[in-house]
Amino acid sequence: MTPYETSRDLCVLENNSLVWKTIKRTPDSDSSKYEFIGDTLVLYEINEGEPASYGVVFIGGTAGNIYGTWTHTGCNRESQTGETECYTNTRYGTRTYSYSSGKVTYKVEYHMDLYVADEQARGYMESGFMADLYSYLTSRSYLKDVISITANEDQATRVSRSIEENGVQIIESTKTNQTFKIGDKTYTVTVKKAETTLHYTGRANREAVVEVTDGTTTCSSYAIYKTVDQNLCKTENLQYFTTSFNEDDDGHKYLSVLHYENTDHEQFLECLSSIALPITNVPAPSPVK
């Protein structure tokens, strides 16, 4: 199977300047072993002549006939034990392989409307950012930048545990705003901006602005995460890019930029430290009922 693109438009560093250009790539040839478990298709990659122990599970085609269209379930199957583990959320993206004689076509369809609807329904006060913020205000533990407040994941259990462990009392909470008390200090968190859009590659572009105040001092932070496109491919943006060394079809190595990440996180942490509780004054966890 060679279902992937053999050329790609990339932002590349040449002579200390960034340029947007088309890079040719040698197609990846993939050999797989396949088997049917009832009406389920399982594909095992061939590595150095041997099939992998875990196979990728597909559904939707005709049992016993690989020709047709098969949809990725997000699950893997262990060939020896038959155990199946699902690790990919397929609600927001449908991946299909279509097989015919001598040809395979790979297609991805993204469901950004569902993603944004779920994100807005959940609310930002149920994010992992809030769980980490409670801990940072009491013990200066690790805190990701504010982009993590937009991560569309179920963090209810972790948030509840952090509330209990850090002695947090929730006074008022909405989807974008929360006032809480830890010890003798009262804090308010406000999500001023949280935007999620879809890049054509299927990756989510995100932008967030969050404020945390103790009533006297307000700490504000922003974060912008984007997939690099032609408009962002500018040398003045180089400090905000993550980079990767690659090799083109002719064996020439090049440095390409992948993601744009712009945040004032370090200054935000300094400000938060100035309004956080003294570490020696961390309230005891609430008793378990």
At 86 the pLDDT is 86
Task: Give the list of residues 6+ apart from residue 100 with CB closer than 8 angstroms, or none.
Answer: 67
- What H or E segment, with its residue span, contains residue 269? helix 265-275
Residue numbers of the chain with a pLDDT score lower than 50: 3, 288-289
- Fill in the amino acid letter for 223: A
Q: Which residue has the tokens 């060394």?
A: 245
Task: Give the list of residues 6+ apart from residue 262 with CB closer than 8 angstroms, or none.
Answer: 222, 223, 224, 240
- Nearest CA to 147 out of 228, 213, 225, 92 is that of 225
At 31 the pLDDT is 79
- Nearest CA to 132 out of 123, 141, 124 is that of 141
| 183 token code pair | 């010890």
Q: Which residue has the tokens 């693109």?
A: 5
Spatial separation of the C-alpha atoms in residues 214 and 68, rounded to whole Å:
60
Spatial separation of the C-alpha atoms in residues 105 and 107, rounded to whole Å:
7
3-state secondary structure of 197: strand
At 26 the pLDDT is 59
At 289 the pLDDT is 44
At 262 the pLDDT is 95
Contact 168, 158 (CB under 8 A): no
At 285 the pLDDT is 53
DSSP state of 150: G
Spatial separation of the C-alpha atoms in residues 123 and 135, rounded to whole Å:
20
At 288 the pLDDT is 47
- What H or E segment, with its residue span, contains residue 267? helix 265-275
Cα→Cα distances 174→121, 161, 171, Å: 11, 19, 11
Specify the length of the chain in residues.
289
- Classify residue 206 by burial, with Cβ atoms within 10 Å: 0-12, 13-18, 19+: buried
At 23 the pLDDT is 78
